[in-house]
Amino acid sequence: LFDLGLGPQIVARTGFCVHPADAVRDVPKVGGTKDVNLARLRRLAPTHVLVNVDENTRDTVQALREFVPQVLVTHPQDPHDNLALFDLLGGVFGAAPGVRARARAQGDALRAVLQTCQTQSWTPRRVLYLIWREPWMTVARDTYISRTLASVGWQTLPQTTGGDGLQAPGALRYPAFSWDAPWIRDVDLVLLSTEPYRFGPSHAGEVRRLLDARGSHAEVRLIDGEWCAWYGSRAVRSLPRLAALARTLG
């Protein structure tokens, strides 16, 4: 929204909306994605609220619809879905000066990035992408994260799908797993995301020991979770960074 020039119109955010830091500092927080402070948000009287299928609960969305004129539900499951999102936001907020033009520019920039990814010859990697610890959790192949990784030739394991998130429970889209699962031996790259769990160097060491105990020589790396999970205009900036990492690792 800030990239579309809508900063002055933003009246609230969750605690996870942290960019651009200098701009969001003065925007009131209304809790987290799973525990929105509905009473406070009601007092702020937004005309539009953006929600996400994976991030917000159905109960929250239903409650919002009781007092928010327009609740916009987002659910990109592939980097290409951002193109439709830009069109949606440009249409909904197009009355504000410059918004439609900025939305078109974002779409054009993303198309160029996606085209570059599609024309590259990537080294295939079999990736375990970690999002949580205790229990250890990863991503299904039909999630935005997995398909973002696939854009640089990285296929996530296990080979499971979780459904569209509208009917399937989150446990299917973001499954727990055991390090003793047979497919672990097929992994050649483990990525520890910085979100939602804040994996750090000590956790990388822990994963290394778990792999060594099972005879796995998979590479272990920390990765900025924003590169893989944040959609919209963030994808325009993040995909080139992910592509650069993929080229570096080979």
DSSP state of 209: H
Report in angstroms the alpha-carbon separations of 92 from 5, 24, 71, 99: 13, 22, 11, 10
Contacts of 82 (CB under 8 A, 6+ apart): 76, 107, 110, 231, 232, 235
Of 205, 223, 234, nearest in space to 20 by CA: 234
Summarised one tens digit per residue, pLDDT across range 69-81 is 999 999 999 999 9
pLDDT band at 243 (very low <50, low <70, confident <90, very high): very high
Question: Homologous superfamily of 7-118 in CATH?
Answer: Nitrogenase molybdenum iron protein domain (3.40.50.1980)
Summarised one tens digit per residue, pLDDT across range 35-65 is 999 999 999 999 999 999 999 999 999 999 9
- What pLDDT does 171 receive? 80
Give me the long-range contacts of 231-235 (CB less than 8 A, separation at least 24).
231/74, 231/76, 231/79, 231/81, 231/82, 231/85, 231/144, 232/3, 232/76, 232/82, 232/85, 232/86, 232/106, 233/3, 233/4, 233/106, 234/19, 235/79, 235/82, 235/110, 235/113, 235/148
pLDDT band at 250 (very low <50, low <70, confident <90, very high): confident
- What pLDDT does 64 receive? 98
- What pLDDT does 167 receive? 61
- What pLDDT does 208 receive? 98
Sign of the dihedral defined by the CA atoms of residues 58, 140, 78, 10, in that order: positive
- What pLDDT does 131 receive? 98
Mean residue pLDDT across the chain:
96
Domains 7-118 and 125-249 belong to one CATH topology: yes
Contacts of 169 (CB under 8 A, 6+ apart): none
Q: How far apart are CA 122 and CA 120, in angstroms?
A: 6
CATH of the domain spanning 125-249: 3.40.50.1980
Residue-range domain boundaries for the chain: 7-118, 125-249
Least confident piece of the model among 89-93, 166-170, 202-206, 242-246: 166-170
Residue 14's Cβ-side half-sphere holds a number of Cα atoms within 13 Å equal to: 14
pLDDT band at 204 (very low <50, low <70, confident <90, very high): very high
Does residue 170 surpass a pLDDT of 80? no
- What pLDDT does 2 receive? 97
